[in-house]
Amino acid sequence: MPCLLTLIALSTPRLVVALLWLFSNWFTGLFSTSLMVLLGFIFLPTTLLWYACVQHWFGGQWTFWPIVGIVVALCADFSPAAGRKKE
């Protein structure tokens, strides 16, 4: 059961990105190419979502709270890889 919950938690940001990509125009105009959205989907989905939120809700202004949010998003994206160190 804990493994199932872990898989659901790790796939949730990717599911949200996929649903936003398919059913809305949330990522339209944020990047010059769709490759950035694809790379964000694969490597940093939470950071991609927060970047899009800052562009839409904060008008692209990187003040204190958007920076705190991007740091938290980066920590969330990189934290699962920290536990898989090979000895």
Q: pLDDT tens across 51-68, in order?
A: 999 999 999 999 999 999
User: Is residue 84 scored above 60 in pLDDT?
Assistant: no
Residues 6+ apart with CB under 8 A from 33: none
- Across the range 30-40, mean pLDDT stands at 90
Across the range 7-22, mean pLDDT stands at 84
In the chain, domain spans:
2-82
Look-up of token digits 């705190």: 68
The total number of residues shown for the chain amounts to 87
Which pLDDT does position 85 carry in this prediction?
47
pTM of the model: 0.79
CA distance 14 to 39: 11
